[in-house]
Amino acid sequence: MKILSTMDITGMLESAAAHVMSSIQELNELDTQIGDGDHGTTMKRVMSSLCKTLETDTENDTKTLLDSIGWNIMSQDGGSAGMLMGMFFSGLAKGIEPDQTAEERMSAMLKHGADALLSGSGAGVGEKTMVDALVPAVSTFEETIKGGGDFLQAMRLSSIAARQGAEDSKKMLPTRGRAKNLKERALGVADPGATSIALIFEGFYHYCEHRGLYD
């Protein structure tokens, strides 16, 4: 049975953190156009907390590790974006069950992570938030597996869907946060939160591709 080990999940998280960390300036620049200009700085704190937890909680099982990552992120001063990211990572932990295949585990993790973030944000698709990248990424993974695709293909397509969701947010009018006051002036700018989600999924896929996981 193909499994998704703690080592692999840790590797995916480290890769996601590296992708986000390399784009802090880009995220701040996007947020300067439609927000407070500090989304990149927030994501730097989020990913620094994630990496610190990975370094210190080496004895924990996967479920406990993910939950610790989420709670540690939520304890940071990261505003609403940081809180939602913490909810997402803690939500991933709820998908971990014994005797899951790699596909079953990843699908369950993503579903629970998305559910937690959606519940916390209250946003729906089309409101120019991180939801616009997360929902298509998660649904694409599940649909690819159900359609007979392999794990690596599903990860690749979900990362593409996340990036497309971030790109599509350029055409959306914001309904939340400071950006909602800009109305049409926010058109043409990708949502910083959606861009962060795209970077996370691209990081996930980069690790899986490098490791050749279950293609």
Ordered per-residue pLDDT tens for the chain, 215 residues: 788 999 999 999 999 999 999 999 999 999 999 888 999 999 999 999 999 999 998 878 999 999 999 999 999 876 899 999 999 999 999 999 999 999 999 999 999 999 999 999 999 999 999 999 999 999 999 999 999 999 999 999 999 999 999 999 999 987 766 666 656 676 899 999 999 999 999 999 999 998 877 65
Q: Is residue 1 assigned to a domain?
A: no
Q: Is residue 131 assigned to a domain?
A: yes
- Please give the model's pTM, rounded to 2 decimal places: 0.95
Q: Is residue 115 assigned to a domain?
A: yes
CATH number at residue 118: 1.25.40.340
Cβ of 29: how many Cβ atoms within 10 Å?
15
Its domain, for residue 114, covers 6-211
Domain count, the chain: 1
Is residue 32 a contact partner of residue 186, using CB atoms and an 8 Å limit? Answer: no
